[in-house]
Amino acid sequence: MAQVHPINAFNDNYIWAICEPKNHATWVVDPGQSQPVLQFLTEQKRQLTGILVTHHHWDHTDGIAELLLNFPDIPVYGPKDSPFKGITHTLSQGDSVTIAGEQYTIIQTPGHTLDHICYVNDIRAFTGDTLFSGGCGRLFEGTAEQMWSSLSALSELPDACEVYCTHEYTLANLEFAHAVEPDNSELRTYTTWAKQRREQELPTLPSTIGNERAINPFLRTNSRNILRRLPESLIAPTETQWQVFAKLRLWKDKF
């Protein structure tokens, strides 16, 4: 089974290194910086085999050009029709790709950006800036309905499926989650654990799909408790879960 390691980048990014245990082959997800990746490869005596891109934003792609100078023949997988032009192998909904000996399926997850994709199987999900622990990405290009649909697709993965997003936003997300659902006992327990992790300068990731369904307000749009906590300015007749999501996202943007 492949091993996944976090590589710190910028202030709060994680570049995930997917390593084959029986050889030196390594894939990286969303390398916004090259130097941390090159340092990891040198220290761990590993060989870069390929690159996975979830979407075109610079903090997920700016390190790719220099990595290719050092490893010129490796594939760069990423979304079809992406504004980022460095992708050599394009992927769409339902496509499959083998990474470090394991098969992943592509889920198109527009919302944060229109080109966003996630790499998923029953064991792991590399969710980029779509699903965070306790939160979700801002809507820079897509609609609230698109993002809710994307999150709903991810929430159907098995409870034990590990969630590898690309930012350490957990504590800030949990602060909002407590405002939305202050009586959630699982949220309180998880927050205590997350604070202890950050006090030790350890990642709060990966989370799991089961945990996110229990504590993440953006996956809990059918909760009556959440509906009761919406600010007065957002209270209005609501018919669909995506409309509840839209109100939560608007609240979070101003939180």
Catalytic residues: 55, 57, 59-60, 112, 129, 167
Buried b (16+ CB within 10 A) or exposed e, 8-17: ebeeebbbbb
Q: Do the annotations mark residue 253 as ligand-binding? A: no
Q: Do the annotations mark residue 167 as ligand-binding? A: yes
Q: Do the annotations mark residue 129 as ligand-binding? A: yes
Pairing of strands 124-128, 131-132: unpaired
Q: Do the annotations mark residue 60 as ligand-binding? A: yes
Buried b (16+ CB within 10 A) or exposed e, 34-58: bebbbebbeeeebebbbbbbbbbbe
Q: Do the annotations mark residue 55 as ligand-binding? A: yes
Pairing of strands 76-79, 47-52: parallel
Residue whose token pair is 């969630």: 163
Calculate the alpha carbon distances from 116 to 54, 107, 199, 222, 253 in Å: 5, 9, 32, 25, 20
Q: Do the annotations mark residue 59 as ligand-binding? A: yes
Annotated binding site: 55, 57, 59-60, 112, 129, 167
Binding site per annotation, positions for Zn(2+): 55, 57, 59-60, 112, 129, 167
